[in-house]
Amino acid sequence: MFQTLKNAWKVDEIRKKLIFTLLMLVIFRLGNAIPVPFVDRNVLTQLYQYTEGNLLSFMNLLTGGALGEFTIFAMSIYPYITASIILQLLTIAIPRLEELSKEGEAGQKKIQQYTRIGAVVLGVFQALGISGKLFARAVVAKGFLEQASIIVVLIAGTMFLVWLGDLITEKGIGNGISMLIFAGIISRLPHSFIYWTQGVIQGKINPINAILMLIIVVVVVAGVVIIAEGERRINVQYAKRVVGRKMYGGQATHIPIKVNMGGVMPVIFTSSLLQLPSMLGMLIGGGFGEFVNKYFSPQQNPGIIITNILAVILIILFAFFYTAIQFNTVEYSKNLQQQGGFIPGIRPGRPTSDYMGKISNRITFIGAIALAILYVLPAILSAIFKLPISFGGTAIIIVVGVVLETFKQMESMLLMRHYKGFLNK
């Protein structure tokens, strides 16, 4: 990996992309330090200390500490992610949206516009929950305009991050949205390890349990790498064709089907959806808020069981959803037939499509189950060992997945320039 970075830095185009990405992440981190107006910082600190160790710690991790500090990026990009999930699901149900998705770049721009509108609508409700319920005691806004300015600032912060993510995707390295989430999580991991170290020194945390959890983290990292790199290869044979005096085709190759085609997106989408009940609980409050805090908080009992079960189900569903989007077996079968290719022992056309679909479903199910296990394993073991942990399978999978995807993108750029990176060694 370090050799790949070294080689990438030598290429002027890739070096500019790397520098641009780093500058955008610096802007993201600087924005996390800009406070929302009309907020008493002393009261805010007390509120965060009071809620340390519960759901707020997990949400604060995903926002890179912006939520706990109540900064302009307190909502991060999660309203946009939730709106994206809703639009992609509606694309299947509404014919007009399905037509737009097939109209190429123009259709995608229209869907992105709808997604941004949905993000603003969801952002209004989430901002009301944060300012009116979660940190209500810290808000010193008196009039309507002052309260409205808090909502506007929070929504503007989210939409600015969406724009920043698009810039990273277009002009930088990696997926912009994933990179922002990655940067936020990385910025909070030292805080978590310091908290562990202090707990061990002060006798609040059993050293053996801490060591066991570190071993589990290493196992999860290794598991994520195995899932990301795993693939099933389907053999393909091309028929020989004689054109004039030359013979074409006749070679054998393969179709690689990844175990986890969705990458980290199933985990990101799952973590985003699991925040919705908490946001509604904060917004509505009262008995409903207490119910949500008990049954949908990963730090409560039986909330930890319910949220982990929901997480497993959602990860599996999103894994299949993304595989269906990225690997259209019908179109793949048509293209293969037009190019004179066939799978040995399988007839071209519909049988080939069915065969690839069956293999894809099987390998996706295995990958989704493995991803779900890695997702819930740290949280379950943390509850067993009584070890407080703000990060878990979510953070580990996202961090490792984003690093792998980013280095793969750099590796593909290097291969185009005849460099040899770590993937070919």
pLDDT digits (tens, 9 = 90+) for 311-327: 899 999 988 988 887 78
What phi and psi values does residue 246 have, to the nearest 5 degrees?
A: -110, 150
Domains and CATH numbers, the chain: 2-424 (1.10.3370.10)
* For residue 419, pLDDT beyond 70: no
Listed range (40-49, 103-112, 196-205, 268-277) with the worst mean pLDDT: 40-49
- Asked if 233 contacts 256 with a C-beta cutoff of 8 angstroms, the reply is yes
What are the C-alpha distances in Å from 207 to residues 43, 367, 391?
Answer: 34, 33, 18
Per the listing, tokens 């037009």 go with 338
CA 177 distance to own-chain centroid: 8
If you ran DSSP here, which 8-state letter would residue 424 be given?
A: G
Is the bond leading into 298 cis (omega within 30 degrees of zero)? no
pLDDT at 155: 95
What does DSSP say about strands 341-342 and 252-258: parallel, antiparallel, or unpaired?
unpaired
User: From start to end of 85-224, where are the E strands?
Assistant: none
- Three-state secondary-structure class, residue 317: helix
Q: What is the mean pLDDT of the chain?
A: 81
pLDDT at 53: 46
pLDDT at 423: 47
pLDDT digits (tens, 9 = 90+) for 162-196: 999 999 999 988 888 889 988 888 887 777 777 77
Distance (Å, whole) CA 66 – CA 77: 11
pLDDT digits (tens, 9 = 90+) for 258-299: 888 877 788 888 887 887 777 777 667 677 777 877 777 766
pLDDT digits (tens, 9 = 90+) for 204-235: 777 887 787 788 788 888 888 888 888 888 88
Q: Which of 57-71, 265-279, 359-373 has the highest mean pLDDT?
A: 359-373
Please give the radius of gyration of the chain, using alpha carbons only, rounded to the nearest integer: 24
What is the DSSP code string of 373-408? HHHHHHHHHHHHHT---S--HHHHHHHHHHHHHHHH
Angle at 133 between CA 132 and CA 139, to 5 degrees: 50
What are the C-alpha distances in Å from 399 to residues 161, 190, 198, 221?
Answer: 19, 14, 24, 9
pLDDT at 249: 56
Distance (Å, whole) CA 369 – CA 356: 20
Confidence at 240, pLDDT banded by 50, 70, 90: low
What token pair was written down for 9? 């830095």
Sorted by sequence, the CB contacts under 8 Å of residue 94 that are 6+ apart come out as none
What are the C-alpha distances in Å from 89 to residues 72, 83, 98, 281, 329?
Answer: 29, 10, 10, 24, 20
Of 261, 408, 245, 420, the closest CA to residue 329 belongs to 261
* For residue 54, pLDDT beyond 60: no
Confidence at 89, pLDDT banded by 50, 70, 90: confident
Confidence at 392, pLDDT banded by 50, 70, 90: low
Describe the chain by its helix, strand, coil percentages, rounded to 5.
75, 5, 20
- Three-state secondary-structure class, residue 1: coil
